[in-house]
Amino acid sequence: MQLVSLISEAEWNRVLGRLETLEAAEAARASAATTKPDQVLTTAQAAAYIGLSVCALLRARRAGRIQGVRLNEKDWGFRQSVLDAYPRRYHRPTMSVATA
């Protein structure tokens, strides 16, 4: 014996809409899982990667302009995706000096 439940068309459409939303979210989660993990660079590697000195990079981290990852009690690391976004957000064009 099977149980049958009758629901209105509006309720059925609402359930189908919710199912489509859940399937889209699951597909997005699955595609995000297939991307490679973000690489974490040491402070010296990160400074060389974005063209700053180690001190300037650590100052930017302390000021909250760039997010760091604590590697141990003493050292910081930086995610490569965060470093890729940093120069575009805080890029200041170099000032050309007019020669007389």
Tell me the C-alpha to C-alpha distance, in Å, between residue 31 and each of 24, 26, 27, 28, 87.
11, 9, 6, 5, 27
3-state secondary structure of 41: strand
| Annotated domain spans of the chain | 40-90
pLDDT of residue 97: 52
Contact 80, 41 (CB under 8 A): yes
Task: Kindly indicate the confidence band of residue 20, based on its pLDDT and cuts at 50, 70 and 90.
Answer: very high
pLDDT of residue 1: 81
Query: Once rounded to an integer, what is the mean pLDDT over residues 20-46?
Result: 85
Query: Once rounded to an integer, what is the mean pLDDT over residues 16-20?
Result: 95
Which residue would you say has higher pLDDT here, 33 or 60? 60
Contact 75, 38 (CB under 8 A): no
The model carries a pTM of: 0.53
